[in-house]
Amino acid sequence: MRTGLRIIALVAGILCVFQCQAQTSGTPFPKGELSNAKNHTGKIWLSELNVGDSTFDPGIAQAVYGAGAKLDWHIHPGGQVLLITEGTGYYQERGKPVRIVHKGDVIKCAPGVEHWHGASPQSSFAYIAVTPTQKGKTIWLEPVSDKDYNSVK
């Protein structure tokens, strides 16, 4: 099977899991480990579901954010798709307004686009991230300013 078809089949399988879970709260995956990385503010738990390799390229991870937690500005050289599974969060691309996102939303971030995402101040937030890895690792930039975070309208 070609790589593109494998990715489509993998994402379709993930979406089927979420449809089956639609009647229950939470996700079918463990919350993961509390991150101690220096590229975010607040509490974020990560669970690596698939490490990208030569057979199945995309890295797939679940991220669970405590209220107010957010990642720094960053870039994914291969782009990223976020499948929002819980709560209310924010997503912003450089130079654009902050978007409010909710459970069931799908965010497609094009390759090379500077962006950040995080939980709203009053809500936890979770998603499954599908990130192609063959074009390079995440490039971390500066922390999100209070001005950017609080610019939600």
Residue-number span of the structural domain to which 128 is assigned: 3-149
Least confident of 7-11, 43-47, 69-73, 125-129: 7-11
Mean pLDDT of 72-98: 96
Average pLDDT, the chain: 86
- Smallest CA-to-CA distance from 77 within 5, 12, 8, 140 is with 140
pLDDT recorded at residue 2: 61
- The one-letter code for the residue type at 108 is K
pLDDT tens, 8-58?
555 555 554 444 444 444 667 888 899 999 999 999 999 999 887 777 778
- Alpha carbons 150 and 130: distance in angstroms, whole number: 27
When divided into structural domains, the chain yields a total of: 1
For residue 104, the domain's CATH number is 2.60.120.10
Residue 70: which of 52, 98, 55, 91 has the closest Cα?
91
In degrees and rounded to multiples of 5, residue 82 shows phi and psi of -110, 125
Give the predicted TM-score (pTM) of the model: 0.80
DSSP 104-151: T-EEEE-TT--EEEEE-TT--EEEEEEE--TT---EE-PPPPHHHHTT
